[in-house]
Amino acid sequence: MVNENAPAGTNPPKLLDQVRDKIRVKHYSIRTETQYIQWIKRFIFFHGKRHPRDLGAAEVEAFLSHLATEGNVSASTQNQALSALLFLYREVLGIVLPWMDTMVRAKKPQRLPVVLNRSEVALVLERMDGGYGLMARLLYGTGMRLMECCRLRVKDIDFGQREILIRDGKGAKDRVTMLPATLVQVLQQHLAKRRRLYEDDLAKGMAEVYLPDALALKYPGAPNEWAWQYVFPSGSYSVDPRSGRERRHHIDEKLLQRAMKRAVTASGIVKLATPHTLRHSFATHLLEGGYDIRTVQELLGHSDVSTTMIYTHVLNKGGRGVVSPLDR
């Protein structure tokens, strides 16, 4: 397919390159980019490498049905594939397909979250020390999501106000949560060690970190500043898949997931608890402690209180200030 607007003597960008460019213009995360590219490639290969322009409702429905019947994927995975195809047609190919608006998304099953009681949380946390132990305590003590903890920056911890600013959370929203008093000294000691690693990186010219939304262009010196460093860094340098620059990224979330799994197994707990279970436990224990569900909703960053309602049916129990369940 020839692009008539392309300069003479040049080849038009390939379809997947166009998808990547559009995703980056819209400032989608690298994870979203990876997933969308994967689903679009699978869609194209499923239909014998035919161009998506030549495909329609029947082909999209056949692909999504195949994922459900043959691939046995979950409803959320099937919906992710549909979102990728919607992005391809609307944003990249510029094709308005009314039939895609009427497609019914797979309904997610409503399941109650796994929650640990207070003694179970204590058993797990006792078996986690070092950086992983600190991260697990932050998840339970603040209600942060796993990736919000991994991406935490030095500048977003306010010891004076005892607050943590969570930037660009789910839905690209910022919010504030408490900094548990129990963790103040431990976190300060951790940052002292982190500062030494930063200074070593700085001496080697390797202190640069990733900054979102072209902030590095607006503030050229910021990527090398202490304030922008990740609180929980990777143990080695890696190459940024977008810029190609080698630098120290944040810790891989899989490492914390594995550490949590080991701790749960060692504690003898039979529940399928993950790092996200600590967030569920945070919310449940706050509500059990009498805090208003709207307050818990704000701390969790939920857009709709109905999402928070899954933790309990007890409403409006009051509470002026919020004390972290980790401090109880």
Give the pLDDT confidence score for residue 3 in this predicted structure. Answer: 46
pLDDT digits (tens, 9 = 90+) for 234-283: 999 999 887 888 999 999 999 999 999 999 999 999 999 999 999 999 99
CA separation for the pair 253, 200 (Å, rounded): 24
- 14 by Cβ neighbours in 10 Å (0-12 / 13-18 / 19+) ranks as exposed
Half-sphere exposure of 304 (CA within 13 A, CB side): 3
Catalytic residue among 42, 155, 162, 170: 170
Q: What is the pLDDT of residue 180?
A: 95
pLDDT category at 201 given cuts 50, 70, 90 is: very high
Residue owning tokens 């503030």? 219
Q: What is the CA radius of gyration of the chain?
A: 23
Tokens of 37: 């590219």
The sign one gets for the Cα dihedral 296, 298, 303, 305 is: positive
Task: Please choose, from the candidates 106, 87, 101, 100, the residue with its C-alpha nearest in 3D space to the C-alpha of residue 59.
Answer: 100
- C-alpha to C-alpha distance for 289 and 278, rounded to whole angstroms: 16
Q: Check residues 304 and 45 and name the one with the higher pLDDT.
A: 45
Annotated domain spans of the chain: 15-101, 119-272
CATH fold of the domain at 15-101: DNA polymerase; domain 1 (1.10.150)
The pLDDT of residue 315 is 35
Report residue 118's pLDDT band, with 50, 70 and 90 as the boundaries: very high
DSSP symbols for 43-112:
HHHHTTT--GGG--HHHHHHHHHHHHHTS---HHHHHHHHHHHHHIIIIIS----HHHHTPPPPPPP--P
Q: For 14-20, which contacts have Cβ atoms below 8 Å and span 24 or more sequence positions? A: 15/40, 15/51, 15/52, 15/92, 16/40, 16/41, 18/92, 19/87, 19/88, 19/92
- pLDDT at position 73 is 81
Question: Distance (Å, rounded) from C-alpha 202 to C-alpha 169?
Answer: 29
**Catalytic residue (one of 20, 89, 132, 145):** 145
Work out the average pLDDT over 154-168. Answer: 93
Q: C-alpha angle 111/303/170, rounded to 5°?
A: 85
pLDDT-wise least confident of 131-145, 169-183, 248-262:
169-183
Q: What pLDDT is recorded for position 263?
A: 96
Give the pLDDT confidence of 97-113 residue by residue, as tens digits: 766 655 555 666 667 78
Instruction: Give the pTM.
Output: 0.76
Residue 145 is a catalytic residue: yes
Q: At a CB cut-off of 8 Å and minimum separation 6, what does 304 contact?
A: none
CATH of 119-272, one of 1.20.1430, 2.30.29, 1.10.1060, 1.10.443: 1.10.443
Structure tokens at 253: 């979330």
Give the count of alpha carbons within 13 A of 314, CB side only: 14
pLDDT (mean) for 161-184: 88
Pair of tokens at residue 255: 């490492």
Residue 210 known to be catalytic: no
Task: Kindly name the residue from 175, 248, 280, 302 that is annotated as catalytic.
Answer: 302
Chain position carrying tokens 């929650």: 115
Higher pLDDT, 308 or 275: 275
Phi-psi group of 9: left, alpha or beta (phi > 0 → left; psi -120 to 50 → alpha; rest → beta): left
Q: Is 276 a catalytic residue?
A: yes
Residue with the larger pLDDT of the pair 177 and 110: 177
pLDDT average, residue stretch 53-65: 85
One of 22, 162, 276, 317 is an active-site residue; which one?
276
**Could you give the dihedral angle defined by the CA atoms of residues 279, 284, 289 and 292, in that order, rounded to the nearest 10 degrees?**
90
Is 167 among the catalytic positions?
no
Q: How much is the average pLDDT of 150-179?
A: 89
Task: Report residue 292 as tokens.
Answer: 């208003």
Residues shown for the chain: 328
Residue 302 annotated in active site:
yes
Q: At CB < 8 A and 24+ separation, what contacts does 123-128 make? A: 123/267, 123/268, 123/269, 124/260, 124/263, 124/264, 124/267, 124/269, 124/273, 125/263, 126/267, 127/262, 127/263, 127/266, 127/267, 128/259, 128/260, 128/263
Amino acid 130: pLDDT: 92
**Assigned token pair, 322:** 């919020």
Mean predicted lDDT score pLDDT of the chain: 86
Mean pLDDT, rounded, for 184-194: 97
Which residue in 279, 280, 285, 291 is the catalytic one? 279
